[in-house]
Amino acid sequence: MEAEKRFYTTAEVQKILSVSRTTANQIMHMFEKRGQLFRTGNTLRVEIETFEEWIRQNTSRPAWE
């Protein structure tokens, strides 16, 4: 039985947003400053819910809406 995935890693954020590793790291550190980051050693993780809410808030709507 597989556990439900709750976090995205920096590599997953990079792939989802199609950005460089540096940009993905900057985004993860932004979540860290907000207290929304989970760190395991050198691995940074952000909750999927938190990340997706940030995406919704920062995605501009088309001009015709």
Domain boundaries, the chain: 7-58
7-58: which CATH topology? Arc Repressor Mutant, subunit A (1.10.10)
**With bands split at pLDDT 50, 70 and 90, how would you rate the model's confidence at 4?**
confident
List pLDDT tens digits, range 8-43: 999 999 999 999 999 999 999 999 999 999 998 989
Kindly give the residue spans of alpha helices, DSSP state H, lying in the chain.
10-17, 21-33, 48-58
Q: How far is CA 22 from CA 28, 51, 54, in A?
A: 10, 17, 19
